[in-house]
Amino acid sequence: MAENITVDGILADALIGTTIDYTTDRWSSDWNGDEVGFDDVNVVGFYTIPDSSISYYVDTETGYVLDAWADDD
């Protein structure tokens, strides 16, 4: 059976490893990096892109996207 891949899922995968201006996206929370598996990052932010199902973790000091996913995948 084929996996159901959405456009948001493809876009989320493309965000990983890029640097973005996350300040325009919807903030959910912040953690110390070691609390969410990113030991080398001081503060990891959890954000969602408005009008999409894409959420992501970002290094708040650099804007580097650590992980991203579509909630409907």
Q: Is residue 25 part of a domain?
A: yes
Q: Is residue 59 part of a domain?
A: yes
Q: Is residue 1 part of a domain?
A: no
Q: For the chain, percent helix, then strand, then coil, each to nearest 5?
A: 20, 35, 40
Q: Is residue 21 part of a domain?
A: yes
Q: Is residue 15 part of a domain?
A: yes
Q: Is residue 39 part of a domain?
A: yes
Q: Is residue 2 part of a domain?
A: no
Residue 30 belongs to what domain range?
7-70
Q: Is residue 62 part of a domain?
A: yes
8's enclosing H/E stretch is: helix 7-15
Buried/exposed 38-64: b ≥16 CB within 10 Å, e otherwise: beebeebbbbebeeebbbbbbbbeeeb
**pLDDT at 71 (0 to 100):** 86
Domain count, the chain: 1
pLDDT in tens, 19-42: 999 999 999 999 999 999 999 999
More confident residue, 4 or 63: 63
pLDDT in tens, 41-62: 999 999 999 999 999 999 999 9
1: confidence class by pLDDT, cuts 50, 70, 90? very low
Global pTM reads 0.89
